[in-house]
Structure 1
Amino acid sequence: MTPSGGRHQRTESPEGSEGRGTPRRGLLIGAGALGVLAVGGGAAAVWSGLDHDGGGGSDGGGGIFGGSPTETTPPPVVSTLTDLSANVPDTSGIDLSQLSEPLSVSFPRVAGARGLSEAVDMSVNKILREHVYSGAPATDLSVAGTIFLASADTIGVLLRHKDASGETPCTVYYRSAGDHPFTSPGLIAPEKWAELEKAAASAAADVDGLDAGSVASALQEQPRPWGNGPAMVFAADGSLHLLFPAATVNGTRTGVELEIDAATAKPLLSEDGAAVLAASASPAAFDPSAVTVPGEGTTNGDKVYVQPAEVPAAARARDSDGAGPVSQLAPLSGAGVRPSSVAAPDATRLKALALTFDDGPDPDKNQTLRDGLNEHHAAATFFMIGTSVQAYPEWCTRTAANGLEVGSHSWSHKQLSALSGQKLTDQCVKPTEEIAKATGRAPFVMRPPYGARNDRVDEELGTIGQSGQIWDLDTLDWKTRNVAKNIAAIQDGAQRGTIALMHEIHPTSVESVPQILDWLGENDFTLLTCSELGQNQMWAGKHYMMGLITHEIAPPAPPASDGGGEAPSSSASTSPSASSSAGA
């Protein structure tokens, strides 16, 4: 089966590739209530972006979502993309439509490119969470993923996300060096972002009624599903297309595609962007043997983290006006500053931590716990015991369907550091298989019971593609069984980057969660999953105590001026210190 269920089609836009010989840099691609508008002398293709008013048109051929009467067309450049999954070995299709709570969600998973697969998985989880927050039924949601770009060391995945509001393309890119996934901003060199903004503003001027401020603001956000920034895709001629899902045209939010010609775009590219451009021009077979993982020879993931040169003061998550995602939104990056390219909320700008819940699924408490998290728009990670998943698979399914991260907590809660051989393998492999049955996909994270791990455990997790998730804050909820003490433990120990240990099976733990979430919100914390907190740097076979960002990293004092102006400042990287905590 292909990653998109074999439904991806190459289609031609009206008048043949946007009317050859009529150069246009700005296209209105969401008709909204305005109908099809003329831009630059020709009819623009219609793309129904999110939060528009009114309906869209038909794509004529069913497209990736298959012939619905209310089918909408994608942005013009997306219509030209082809399915290149055949170029990527060991690609399998994840299809969530077979779950007990049917979801029209399919996407590729590449065994030889774990970093990409985890990033795509995180993106899908975010889409699922946002759909739950919207209150819309699961039947309103479609997500179809396709590998649209491939070369020896580069892959691109397109997620076409469609709901009752319209369709939005999301892109995740990947380089084999460093097992490195990234989103669209990573195509542009950081120091060239201001120039990209100028080029986008020039292209936007060609679209009658387009609010330039909505374009400028979107360029300070991460792309969907993490914000309202544009997805970026290269066309065959090397031009760079910016797909804005919620720009404002004549007062109406709609999708807009801006084109930056190849000559202008090429000097703006990062090293990763240049590799993506080359792969767009010359597709080739991906080489899994070229994948490298940082920190070879060490299993301590906290020591492998590559910190950004500077981390600003932690900020409260940005409030949303309802366009697109509403949760875990990083503050605007600022004019001329490239937004984060991680496939996760930008923890360099957020006061972020992860709440984790062990020992489930519990059929009597899982729904209540999830309801509390959803009400607060809070992400979390659930580490589930294999025997419990086997006994109550529907609760594992529902947790994953809510876009919450599901990880393994062994088969039967044995102390893994005391095991070896087949006994250790069974404790790791069997729960992975049960979770995959219940959720449609194997997990990327695992928590050893009691936090008891050693090199044998790490090696076993590496073999099955999972990172080991420990914690730096043990609430001792398993011991105290007291709501007030659970809340106090979080209040006393929560900090930026914390992974906090709680349990799904204790009534007092579940009862305390809404008050904990209230306190965290009042103190500007943003709740992420463990994988999101790792900012695409949690690799298989390594264990982690905390997330990537634990504190501000201030730049060093600039050198003294020579009287002719300020000398440029340089920045140094530091690594966080993580402390171990014992727990159940």
Structure 2
Amino acid sequence: MRGAAVLVSGLASAALLAGCGGGPGQRVRPVADSTAVHVVDPGTVPGLSVATRNEQDGRRHLYAAWPRIPGADRLTAALAAAVDERIRPFLADTGDRTPGAVPELNVQWSLAAASGDVVGVRLVFAESAGASAGEARRTLWYDGRTGEVRPSADLLRAGGGLAGLAERVRARLGGKGDPARVTAGADTFSSLGFNDVGDMVVEFSDNTVAPGSSGRVAVVLERADYEPLLSEFGRRAYAAAMAPRPRLALDGSATPSPTATPGATPDATVPPGRTDCATAKCVALTFDDGPGPATGRLLDTLRDARARATFFVVGTNADAHADLLRREHAEGHEIGNHTQSHRDLSRLTAVQVNSDVQRTQEIVRSATGTAPTLMRPPYGATNGTVAGVTRSLGLRQVLWSVDTNDWRDRDAKVVADRAVRRARPGAVILMHDIHRTTVDAVPEILERLAAKGYTFVTVSELMANRKVPPGGRFGGA
């Protein structure tokens, strides 16, 4: 459907179109959609890591992620500021909430371009309640020649570029929005990118040109329509987005892809075989939301202690760190599915849940050769729809019996004390390897629990003697 506006459900757009910025969007895009923004595999950017903020309690659910790109510190700072700009009012509005549905804010990212001296990062903010409910979309661009962070409007030439874009978009809304609300301003055109065939995708935040209930509104312009409007930087951004083999060169020289696995050693030892938890005193250490910047160090610690753990990975992070997935698998740990975008699954339809789970299944399978058999719903939020989807996919849901609250208490001693004090035979302990303080706590946890006679096993080992059918739950308090 070229040259026309296409409407996509607001919830679906975060689940289907946002996210990891790369492999999964290219490998398993569920529907051919010309308004889907082209994504670059983050694994092509050596040294890229993911910053994450999370919070999960009775007041609110928050998950936000954005990339840190070596050589583009100003871009990283601008992305962090854009995320914080959305988080601050959300935290203020949900500080003293009344009983009811827990408000959720979810922030996802993707790489719209990463080649030569140009980077484009697309952010999608999905909020479930309050004045900002709905989705906001923003794409920031980085010019490696000047070190500047540019808004999407800078893809257009000065002196009429925005006005020309507004005119073309008004003609193509096709009743999906109000043409009078398409103004020639940078705030209106906060997210510009390109699709897989090089058309320009002009997407709007909810309530910009149409009511939020309309869902995602996006207009596609063929190159002949938008090319005369591009600035010099816009032409470079187009070339970077369309590069068949993206190679980022912010320092002036193309950087090869990494070959070594972070933190791995040639003589890395795989822990011994399975433990029979019917006779042994077992505990399962589980780590959510990674891989993160400290995951390699955590793997070193687990290897040295000959301890196994279970990693429930978020697809956006896993796709950026496939090397760490391979190391987790090779060293005898279990990899579980924590969905692609860390949305509260209990708010989504069966189609959306299936897409969010399936994309991470594919990422893990592609990296390790083995797909997960376990799924942990973000925030532990589940219902009959989630159970039905996981049943159809042959997945078992895993909750936890010990919550270390490590997202709130960024203190290694507090986290270690809480894990050790609450541990019981058969316990499933919840932690997050995206927090360095949690990784700092693990050596003490291993030492103190080992002294109490515990064996550290994967969740599947722990549940080996339990009859948990697909779709069923395991590990609740």
**TM-score, length-scaled by structure 1:** 0.36
Please give the TM-score of this superposition, normalised by the length of structure 2: 0.44
